[in-house]
Amino acid sequence: MPYEAEISRTNPTCFLFLIDQSGSMSQPFGGESGKRKSDGVADAMNRLLQTLVFRTAKGEVILDRYHVGVIGYRDHAQGALAGLAAQQLLVPISEIANHPVRIEQRTKKVEDGAGGLVDQTFQFPVWFEATAGGRTAMCEALDLAQQAVGRFIGEHPDCFPPIVVNITDGEATDGDAEAAASRLKAIASSDGNLLLFNAHLSSRSEQPIQFPNSESQLPDLYARLLFRLSSPLPPGMWKQAKTSGLPVAEGARGFVFNADLVSVIQFLDIGTRVDKNVR
């Protein structure tokens, strides 16, 4: 069975995130009061990077079971992690852990034990900055991902297949995204083909369509295109989605259409769930 390779320091896997930073990302999420898509995605990405660090921590030591990268795309595509990691498209997770660009002090509401809520301060590491402007060079981002992941598999030919997650709110302005995605998905380790997942961000107050298994469930040509770009969920992630209460059917793909911020966070969590393979 594919997607069964053990993930370890000697046989790591990689996560590469492609983030739309075009001008339309300055618009708010549908149903959100003033939360720009670029800001919401930046917060979700920084939370996820911190979660990936926690998953690989053993005491004070960060075990490099994952290599991680972020590519931002607008008029052009380029590495989008601030600080040391900005010079490379994929870096060991310990490089992420040790080099946030800053630590912010944030607050959240928590129960006070007497039926009320109080503000609680917490530290929030930042590696990825919100930005929005320009066009949507998605094809360039997919091709850049192909280069980065191709090099990674050359060094780790037996790894759990790399996972590439594309988050966008619009169509590519630089060519045929389906062709670029097909070239990317053709990359494979001995354990299976690369997994490409896509999340489409909505500016409308419509219900997200999460992890569909058929184009017939989708409302328009663009949604069907993104569905075709997306890989089927492997068994472990399918079970995770099912456990999370999502109505996933057999053949469900790693795709969300009309995603709000809650859907994006849930999508990223499920799309990076490879815990059962980690040693």
Model confidence band, residue 236 (pLDDT cutoffs 50, 70, 90): confident
Contact 67, 274 (CB under 8 A): no
Contact 44, 268 (CB under 8 A): yes
In this prediction the pTM is 0.93
For residue 131, give the nearest of 215, 26, 253 by alpha carbon: 26
* Dist. CA 261–CA 153, nearest whole Å: 32
* Dist. CA 168–CA 256, nearest whole Å: 11
Give the pLDDT confidence of 168-210 residue by residue, as tens digits. Answer: 998 999 999 999 999 999 999 999 999 999 999 987 777 889 9
pLDDT at 279 over 70: no
- pLDDT at res. 246: 84
List of domains in the chain: 13-277 (3.40.50.410)
DSSP letters spanning 201-253: E-SS----EES-S-GGG-SSHHHHHHHHHSPBPPHHHHHHHHHTT----TT-B
Give the pLDDT confidence of 5-60 residue by residue, as tens digits. Answer: 999 999 999 999 999 999 999 999 876 557 899 999 999 999 999 999 999 999 88
Contact 202, 41 (CB under 8 A): no
Token couple for 102: 């800053």
Token couple for 158: 């037996």
Q: How is the chain split among helix, strand and coil, in percent rounded to 5?
A: 35, 30, 40
Q: What is the SS3 string spanning 126-177? A: ECECCCCCCCCCHHHHHHHHHHHHHHHHHHCCCCCCCEEEEEECCCCCCCCH
Model confidence band, residue 87 (pLDDT cutoffs 50, 70, 90): low
DSSP letters spanning 8-47: -SSS-EEEEEEEE-SGGGGSBPTTSSS-BHHHHHHHHHHH
Conformational region of residue 3, where left means phi above 0, alpha means psi within -120 to 50, and beta covers everything else: left
Q: For residue 7, list its beta bridge partners.
A: 278
Which range is least confidently modeled, 42-51, 62-71, 84-93, 133-142? 84-93
Select, from the ranges 125-134, 214-223, 243-252, the one with the highest average predicted confidence (pLDDT).
125-134
For residue 271, give the nearest of 166, 126, 140, 150 by alpha carbon: 166
Token couple for 111: 């129960």
